Structure 1
Amino acid sequence: MSMQSPSATKARALGINHIALEVDDVNAALDFYGQIVEFSLRGRHEGMAFIDLGDQFIALTEKRTQEPDKHRHFGLVVDDKAMVKKTLEALNIETLPGAFLDFIDPWGNRVQIVQYSEIQFTKAPHVLRGMGIKQLDKSDEAVQALAEKGMAPE
């Protein structure tokens, strides 16, 4: 794996600002996702809604145009994956077989639920504070993986 130096001739990828999901009905999608996770609405625009994730967001846009996703997916980071699993079960939302907690939403978008404490993804303290979250811990494995990259939490 190669990393570009700051003096390279290409722009460096730094993260993901947002993802866009196509749905048939934005209001129904907000209701669906609102049953599974707590979120704030960042805003709305004609045929669109924006779910706030602190310094990132999910854009819901009307008019799904492709077949349901089989492998393509996005990982939605949550503070309590076990709670999401229980909620999906209570709502009779089928999870997909495999080692991960994946499901397909009613519009064909494949979602993988990811536990914050278990992965390298990290929200800066000021972003967490802005989201009303005091602290989220990391597992020893996640801290070690971050430390190996010089990114250990303080």
Structure 2
Amino acid sequence: MPTQSPPETKARALGINHVALEVDDVNAALDFYSQIVEFSLRGRHESMAFIDLGDQFIALMEKRTQSPDKHRHFGLVVDDKNTVKKTLEALNVKLLPGEFLDFIDPWGNRVQIVQYSDIQFTKAPHVLRGMGLKQLDKSDEAVQALADKGMAPEKNLGQ
């Protein structure tokens, strides 16, 4: 059977919509993370909960099966990394050695706390230009969701 060549053009990766974390108990996970950071609950469905992060979210899902993460991790962006560090220390959460603020949650998920001001997180027009994109439209539903939170763009990003 002949193999097919991939198309010459590829879709452009633009970001991450959500991260799913497996936990043993969603209520316990919500309690744990609510002690560390302020967040809103986007919703719940069966054995899942969704922590709202603006136009992104974290999905907490019951039934973790793998061993604790050693290197695999996700970066959680916060407005004040030092406050999170103090909170983790006050909660006796063991911080991992290294140059970053990493810890393992009670279910084995490795989390890296990242300071918003230190990273290129927003997709502002100058960032879009740096990515080689002239325009990044949002669907009407996404614009409305942002508007509901007071974050509606004045016009499509990048224009």
Compute the TM-score of the two structures, normalised by the length of structure 2: 0.73
Give the match for residue 109 of structure 1: 109
Contact 1:54-1:130 within 8 A present in 2 as well: no
Hey, what's the Cα distance between the residues in 1 that align with 2:108 and 2:55?
Answer: 26
Q: Which amino acid aligns with 1:105?
A: D
Larger radius of gyration: 2
Q: Which amino acid aligns with 1:44?
A: R
Give the match for residue 98 of structure 2: 98
SS of 1:83's equivalent in the other structure is helix
Q: How does 1:44-59 map to 2 (within 5 A)?
A: 44-59=44-59
Show structure 1 runs of 5+ residues with no match.
1-6, 134-154
Compute the TM-score of the two structures, normalised by the length of structure 1: 0.76
Extract structure 1 runs of 4+ deviating beyond 6 A: 126-129
Change (3 A) 1:100 1:128: farther
Q: How many residues align?
A: 126
Shift of 1:8: 5.1
Hey, what's the Cα distance between the residues in 1 that align with 2:87 and 2:150?
Answer: 22
Hey, what's the Cα distance between the residues in 2 that align with 1:102 and 1:9?
Answer: 37
Q: Which amino acid aligns with 2:27?
A: N
Hey, what's the Cα distance between the residues in 1 that align with 2:44 and 2:58?
Answer: 12
Hey, what's the Cα distance between the residues in 2 that align with 1:43 and 1:64?
Answer: 20
Contact 1:36-1:87 within 8 A present in 2 as well: yes
- Aligned identity (percent) is 84
> What's the RMSD between the two structures over aligned residues?
2.1
Show structure 2 runs of 5+ residues with no match.
1-6, 125-142, 152-159
SS of 2:71's equivalent in the other structure is coil
Hey, what's the Cα distance between the residues in 2 that align with 1:14 and 1:116?
Answer: 18
Shift of 1:132: 6.3
